Amino acid sequence: MEANILMVDKDGLIPAVIQDAEDNRVLMVGYMNQLALEKTIDSKQVWFFSRSRQELWLKGETSGNYMDVVDIKPDCDSDSLLIKVNPNGPACHTGEETCFFQEFVTDGWGTDIKSNDRLDLELKELAITISQRNRDLPDDSYTAELLKGGLNKIGQKVIEEAGETALAAMGDSDENTKNEVADLLYHLLVLLEAKSIPLQDIAEILSSRRR
């Protein structure tokens, strides 16, 4: 790639549009910092920077759906990148080949538009982090310690957190309730990882219960 002065945001990040080199479909959009771009160029596989986890991640590291880089180009203002790839499997965590598979139907701006849900994003990112901790099992990680303890230890923590959540809900502090709910959700995600149950499976079950 020719030398360019890339225009990054205040956090040193630049959006990267990932496109299928064969059929030109847009597969996904992520963010890169300088190191992620360097690793993408050097390894010929797509790396991103996670804004929620504040760390680098290799696309396909968990799923096996790596993306082999064919070409990298900045746009005319040098404030975004177009990266053409040969994907080794679906680009989207849902199993769809591209992240842009939903129909867009709206009668007016800002009324019927479905934006990315923050909770949905955070749960997905947290599930990925928990999966990485399960693989690497670092010594200084509480998540790794839980996973090493097995299902009995994890199950006990889920029961404990569920009880604390119920007690908090009966109290006067909404802030305490929110913190306990977050703790419960975290431990449930650890339980799913220990059972090798994808978060998407739970989403599908919840979708069937909309009644």
Report how far residue 134's alpha carbon sits from residue 64's, in angstroms, rounded to the nearest whole number: 16
Q: What is the pLDDT of residue 112?
A: 45
| CATH code at 1-107 | 3.10.20.810
For 123-172, what is each residue's pLDDT tens digit? 888 888 898 899 889 999 999 999 999 999 999 999 999 999 999 999 98
Mean pLDDT within 180-203: 92
CB count within 10 Å of CB 86 equals 12
CA distances from 39 to 7, 49, 58, 59, 175 (A): 19, 11, 9, 12, 41
Report how far residue 41's alpha carbon sits from residue 68's, in angstroms, rounded to the nearest whole number: 10
Decide if pLDDT at 26 tops 60. Answer: yes
Classified by CATH at the fold level, domain 118-208 comes out as: Helix Hairpins (1.10.287)
Q: What DSSP element (H or E) covers 127?
A: helix 118-136
Q: What mean pLDDT is reported for the chain?
A: 87
Q: What is the pLDDT of residue 119?
A: 75
More confident residue, 16 or 96: 16
pTM metric for this prediction = 0.54
Mean pLDDT within 64-86: 94
Q: Are 65 and 89 in contact (CB under 8 A)?
A: yes
Q: What DSSP element (H or E) covers 40?
A: helix 34-43
Domain boundaries, the chain: 1-107, 118-208
Decide if pLDDT at 27 tops 90. Answer: yes
Structure tokens at 28: 């996904």
